[in-house]
Chain A
Amino acid sequence: GALVYQYPRRTICKSGTSMRMECQAVGFQATSVAWYRQSPQKTFELIALSTVNSAIKYEQNFTQEKFPISHPNLSFSSMTVLNAYLEDRGLYLCGAREQLNTEVFFGKGTRLTVV
């Protein structure tokens, strides 16, 4: 079956430092990968949508300078939160799909705590 492994599951970083999270797709080709953030008591905000061999599209309020994403092949994607501060805390999820009109498979999330 199709699975997405996301790691780390949780991380704590000091204010002003950076952390990287990764997603590995198994059982299908992750042509398209989307990264989301769920802030406390809120829904999932789309950060950016990455498609292999295309430019990464960031949503309003999210930038490449703050959330650089790598999507080098059809099974792997990573995102870094640079200079993390309190407002960056939350649950980060990656969702991957093979084609744009197929089901999205999500990782279990990376919970970021900033101290």
Chain B
Amino acid sequence: GDQVEQSPSALSLHEGTDSALRCNFTTTMRSVQWFRQNSRGSLISLFYLASGTKENGRLKSAFDSKERRYSTLHIRDAQLEDSGTYFCAAANTGNYKYVFGAGTRLKVIA
């Protein structure tokens, strides 16, 4: 079946540092969406990409437009409030089902 492999599963960053999360897809995907899950469980949409890159403040996301087999989420100058669990979800080209990655638990420390 479709698989979304998200890495790393957990990440600890010092304030002010940069890092990147990645999702690899075992099949070609049409689009990808990145979320942060807040403490109440709600998903906050960060980016939706059908191709290329998008940037919002300290966050930047890219979706491999050629092979459509991976996406990245870059966090620049990490802040304490960036802590949380991040998920990617990708839509299969054929059936459009949205499949979630396993999530990345990010902890930013002072």
Chain A interface residues toward B at CB < 8 A? 32, 34, 36, 38, 43-44, 46, 49, 91, 93, 95, 100-101, 103-106, 108-109, 111
Residues of B within 8 A of A100 (CB): 91, 96
User: Contact: B48 with A46, CB < 8 Å?
Assistant: no
Give 7 nearest A-B pairs by CB, closest first. A103-B48, A100-B96, A44-B100, A108-B42, A91-B41, A43-B102, A106-B43
Contact flag A49-B97 (CB < 8 Å), given A103-B45, A103-B48, A108-B42: yes
B99 at the interface (CB under 8 A from A): yes
Q: Interface on chain A toward B: helix, strand, loop, or mixed SS? A: strand
A90 to chain B, nearest CB (A): 9
> Which of A34, A36, A101, A111 is within 8 Å of B31, CB to CB?
A101
Q: Is the interface of B mostly helix, strand, loop or mixed?
A: strand
Q: Are A44 and B97 touching (Cβ within 8 A)?
A: no
What size tier do the contact residues of chain B reach? 20 to 34
Nearest CB in chain A to that of B30: its residue: A101
Q: How far is the CA of A25 from the CA of B70 in the complex (A)?
A: 30
Q: B34 → chain A, closest Cβ, in Å?
A: 11
Residues from chain A with Cβ under 8 Å of B43 in the complex: 93, 106, 109
Are A38 and B101 interface neighbours, CB within 8 A?
no
Taking the closest CB of chain B, its distance from the CB of A86, in whole angstroms, is 19
